[in-house]
Amino acid sequence: MVTRVTTPGNYSAVLTNLLAAQQRQMEAGNKVSTQRNGNDLKDYAKSSELLTAMRSVQSRLSVFQDQSKVLSDKLSTQDSGLNRVADAAQQIRQIMAEALATGRADTLVEDIQAQMSNAVEGMNSRYGGKYLFAGGQVDTQPVTATQLSDLTAAPAIIANFFKNDNFQVQAKLDESTTVTTGIKADDIGTGMLTALQTFESFNQSGAGPFTGPLTAAQTTFLQGQLASWETVRSDVTQIAAHNGTNQARLDTVAADLTTRQNSLAGMLGDITDADMAEASTQLQQAQLSVQSSAYVFQSLKDSSLLNFLR
């Protein structure tokens, strides 16, 4: 059997090879320019379900990471507010101790008033325009007492100076970790305002006011107050420590989320990222194939029987 060779048949075969080579060159060029094995899921048909699942996990981890950044800022602001209250308690104790050491109370009331203002500002701290220690009442100032005299005005009930509710914010750090981050103003400040009320009541009593040299009654009173203020400072410090524990847990989870994201990105890259050395080689081979096919096509054209019949 003799295979018939015709010019149109040869043209068709060579042209088919040339078009195929050009297609391979385009695909290889796209790999090199995009550094990807494909542009969409259809280009990863064998791995499309795996890619979809991995990207879903990646999106979920990104949500947790974004939430962690916001929560980290919030806890840091809470820490500042709590430390401000604890420092005020420490300063009030120090002010009383110094008055006892000098035997005088010339500016005792004014100095304690200044520290009360610092503490109240700490308990009324805001984050993003919302009160941090107000529970669910984030638009309501949680502590209303601003002056020592407020604490002894009728009916002088400490609980009335706190406007927070009992709601405590919870945050989900990842799929399995949830922490309670909300801290209530009355948990922070009840002991402090009670101690300040005791001080102001004594100051307004017949044994007061605190001006000039300390009397025997005033000395005894202040000596008894030192232990109370140490307790106030300690209690607020413990709350701050709990907040710090949440910060540490958040940092640990955030680091784990970053590790998981990096690992996931690597797994995705193994599927989607092109091997640049291989892609460059494929591009060179495709370019050579195009050049070869074009040369053959041109040679076939030059050797056509039509050239001999002219």
Q: Which pLDDT score is estimated for 202?
A: 98
| Residues contacting residue 197 through CB under 8 Å, at least 6 positions apart | 151, 152, 156, 158
CB 225 within 8 A of CB 202: no
Q: Which pLDDT score is estimated for 29?
A: 56
Q: Which pLDDT score is estimated for 177?
A: 84
- Report the C-alpha gap between 106 and 119 in whole angstroms: 22
Q: How many other CB atoms sit within 10 Å of the CB of residue 276? A: 11
Q: Which pLDDT score is estimated for 216?
A: 97
Q: Which pLDDT score is estimated for 275?
A: 44
- The tens digit of pLDDT for each residue in 258-308 reads 888 888 777 666 565 544 555 556 556 666 665 655 655 566 555 555 554
Q: Which pLDDT score is estimated for 41?
A: 46
Which candidate, 74, 76, 79, 68, places its Cα nearest to that of 251? 68
Residue 284: both structure tokens together: 């060179």
List of the chain residues with pLDDT < 50: 2-3, 5, 32, 41, 44-45, 274-275, 308
Q: Which pLDDT score is estimated for 286?
A: 60
Which candidate, 225, 227, 194, places its Cα nearest to that of 105? 225
- Report the C-alpha gap between 70 and 78 in whole angstroms: 12
Which candidate, 68, 65, 54, 44, places its Cα nearest to that of 266? 54
306: enclosing H helix or E strand: helix 305-309
Q: Specify burial of residue 143 (Cβ count, 10 A radius: 0-12, 13-18, 19+).
A: buried
CB 43 within 8 A of CB 37: yes
- Report which residue type is found at 124: N
Query: 277-287 burial string, b = 16+ CB within 10 Å, else e?
Result: eebeebbeebb
